[in-house]
Chains A and B, each alone.
Chain A
Amino acid sequence: MSGTTEPIPSPAQGVGPVYRSDREKPTATVSKSISYENVHVLPQTPQLIALLTMIRDQNTSRADFIFYSNRIIRLLVEEGLNHLPVVEHPVTTPVGRSYLGVKFEGKICGVSIMRAGEAMEQGLRDCCRSVRIGKILIQRDEETCKPKLFYEKLPVDISNRWVLLLDPMFATGGSATLAVETLKAKGVPEERILFLNLIASPSGVTDFAERFPKLRVVTAFIDQGLDEKKYIIPGLGDFGDRYYTL
Chain B
Amino acid sequence: MESRSPVYSAATKQEKRYSPPWADLSIIGIAGSSGSGKTSVAMEVVKSLNLPWVVILVMDSFYKSLTPEQHVKAHANEFDFDSPDSIDFDALVQTLRDLKQGKKADIPVYSFVHHQRQEHTTPLYSPHVLILEGILALHDPRIMDLLDVKIFVEADMDVCLGRRVLRDVKERGRDIDGIIKQWFNYVKPSYKKFVEPQRSVSDIIIPRGIENKTAIGMVVQHIQRNLEEKSEKHSATLQELRRIASEEQLSPNVVLMPQTPQFIGMNTILQNPDTEQVDFVFYFDRLAALLIEKALDGTSYTTKAIETPQHTKYNGLGQEGVVSAVVVLRGGSCLETALKRTIPDCITGRVLIQTNERNEEPHLHYLKLPPGIAEHSTVMLLDSQMSSGGAALMAVRVLIDHGVAEEKIAFVTCAAGKSGLKRLSTVYPQVNVIVGRMEEEREPRWMEKRYLGC
Which residues 205-244 in A have Cβ within 8 Å of B in the complex?
227, 231, 233-238, 242
Contacts of A231 in B (CB 8 A): 310
* Chain A: minimal CB distance from B16 (Å): 21
Does chain A have a CB within 8 A of B306? Answer: yes
Binary per-residue interface labels of chain B (203-239) against chain A in the complex, 1 for a CB within 8 Å, 0 otherwise: 0000000000000000000000000000000000000
Closest B residue, CB atoms, query A70: B341
Binary per-residue interface labels of chain A (88-107) against chain B in the complex, 1 for a CB within 8 Å, 0 otherwise: 01011111010101111000
Q: Are A46 and B301 in contact (CB under 8 A)?
A: yes
Q: Are B310 and A227 in contact (CB under 8 A)?
A: yes
* Chain B: minimal CB distance from A96 (Å): 9
Q: How distant is the Cα of A74 from the Cα of B314 in the complex, in angstroms?
A: 23
Does chain B have a CB within 8 A of A86? Answer: yes
* Chain B: minimal CB distance from A232 (Å): 9
Contacts of A144 in B (CB 8 A): none
Q: Are A235 and B301 in contact (CB under 8 A)?
A: no
Q: Are B317 and A28 in contact (CB under 8 A)?
A: yes
Which residues 251-305 in B have Cβ within 8 Å of A in the complex?
252-253, 260-262, 264-265, 267-269, 271-273, 282, 286, 289-290, 293, 296-299, 301-304
Partner of A99, one of B267, B282, B290, B310: B267
Contacts of A57 in B (CB 8 A): 306-308, 316
Does chain A have a CB within 8 A of B4? Answer: no
Does chain A have a CB within 8 A of B312? Answer: yes
* Chain B: minimal CB distance from A181 (Å): 29
Q: Are A94 and B273 in contact (CB under 8 A)?
A: yes
Contacts of A75 in B (CB 8 A): 293
Q: Are A103 and B265 in contact (CB under 8 A)?
A: yes
With A28-B316, A82-B260 as contacts: A67 and B303 at CB distance below 8 Å: no
Does chain B have a CB within 8 A of A50? Answer: yes
Q: Are B344 and A93 in contact (CB under 8 A)?
A: no
* Chain B: minimal CB distance from A222 (Å): 14
With A17-B297, A45-B297 as contacts: A53 and B273 at CB distance below 8 Å: no
Which residues 313-368 in B have Cβ within 8 Å of A in the complex?
313-319, 341-342, 344
Q: Are A50 and B450 in contact (CB under 8 A)?
A: no
Partner of B443, one of A15, A27, A97, A234: A97
Q: Which of B261, B439, B446 has the most CB of A within 10 A?
A: B261
Q: Are A93 and B308 in contact (CB under 8 A)?
A: no
Closest B residue, CB atoms, query A242: B309
Contacts of A237 in B (CB 8 A): 308-310
Q: Which of A17, A74, A89, A94 has the most CB of B within 10 A?
A: A94
Q: Are A235 and B273 in contact (CB under 8 A)?
A: no
Q: Is the interface of B mostly helix, strand, loop or mixed?
A: mixed
Does chain A have a CB within 8 A of B444? Answer: yes
Partner of A234, one of B267, B268, B310, B439: B310
Q: Are A234 and B313 in contact (CB under 8 A)?
A: yes
Closest A residue, CB atoms, query B447: A94
Interface size on B, residues (CB 8 A): 49
Which residues 84-140 in A have Cβ within 8 Å of B in the complex?
84-86, 89, 91-95, 97, 99, 101-104, 126-127, 129
Q: How distant is the Cα of A55 from the Cα of B309 in the complex, in angstroms?
A: 10
Contacts of A154 in B (CB 8 A): none
Q: Are A93 and B271 in contact (CB under 8 A)?
A: yes
Q: Are A46 and B297 in contact (CB under 8 A)?
A: yes
With A47-B297, A101-B271 as contacts: A233 and B262 at CB distance below 8 Å: no
Q: How distant is the Cα of A26 from the Cα of B315 in the complex, in angstroms?
A: 11
Q: Are B297 and A29 in contact (CB under 8 A)?
A: no
Q: Are B303 and A28 in contact (CB under 8 A)?
A: yes
* Chain A: minimal CB distance from B59 (Å): 49
Q: How distant is the Cα of A165 from the Cα of B271 in the complex, in angstroms?
A: 31
Partner of A102, one of B268, B290, B316: B268
Contacts of B308 in A (CB 8 A): 56-58, 233-237
Q: Which of A28, A97, A235 has the most CB of B within 10 A?
A: A28
* Chain B: minimal CB distance from A12 (Å): 6
Q: Are B318 and A91 in contact (CB under 8 A)?
A: no
* Chain B: minimal CB distance from A90 (Å): 9
* Chain B: minimal CB distance from A71 (Å): 7
* Chain B: minimal CB distance from A151 (Å): 28
Q: Are A19 and B252 in contact (CB under 8 A)?
A: yes
Closest B residue, CB atoms, query A229: B310
Q: How distant is the Cα of A102 from the Cα of B261 in the complex, in angstroms?
A: 7
Q: Are B312 and A49 in contact (CB under 8 A)?
A: no
Q: Are B312 and A47 in contact (CB under 8 A)?
A: no
Does chain B have a CB within 8 A of A157? Answer: no
* Chain B: minimal CB distance from A105 (Å): 11
Contacts of B253 in A (CB 8 A): 19
Does chain B have a CB within 8 A of A16? Answer: yes
Q: How distant is the Cα of A54 from the Cα of B319 in the complex, in angstroms?
A: 10
Q: Are B304 and A53 in contact (CB under 8 A)?
A: yes
Contacts of B299 in A (CB 8 A): 46-47
Q: Are A50 and B264 in contact (CB under 8 A)?
A: no
Q: How distant is the Cα of A12 from the Cα of B252 in the complex, in angstroms?
A: 27
Does chain B have a CB within 8 A of A22? Answer: no
Q: How distant is the Cα of A238 from the Cα of B308 in the complex, in angstroms?
A: 10
Residues on A facing B (Cβ under 8 Å)? 12, 15-17, 19, 26-29, 45-47, 49-50, 52-53, 56-59, 67, 71, 74-75, 78, 81-82, 84-86, 89, 91-95, 97, 99, 101-104, 126-127, 129, 227, 231, 233-238, 242
Not counting A26-B302, A234-B312, a sample of 13 additional A-B residue pairs whose C-beta atoms are within 8 angstroms of each other reads A15-B317, A28-B317, A46-B317, A49-B301, A53-B306, A56-B316, A58-B309, A91-B273, A94-B446, A95-B446, A103-B268, A233-B310, A235-B308
What are 26 A-B pairs at a CB distance below 8 A?
A45-B297, A50-B316, A50-B319, A52-B316, A53-B318, A56-B314, A57-B308, A58-B311, A59-B306, A75-B293, A82-B261, A91-B271, A91-B272, A94-B273, A95-B443, A97-B441, A99-B271, A101-B265, A102-B265, A103-B265, A126-B286, A227-B312, A231-B310, A234-B308, A234-B313, A236-B309
Residues on B facing A (Cβ under 8 Å)? 252-253, 260-262, 264-265, 267-269, 271-273, 282, 286, 289-290, 293, 296-299, 301-304, 306-319, 341-342, 344, 439, 441, 443-444, 446, 450
Closest 5 A-B residue pairs measured CB to CB?
Answer: A101-B268, A53-B316, A237-B309, A234-B312, A57-B306
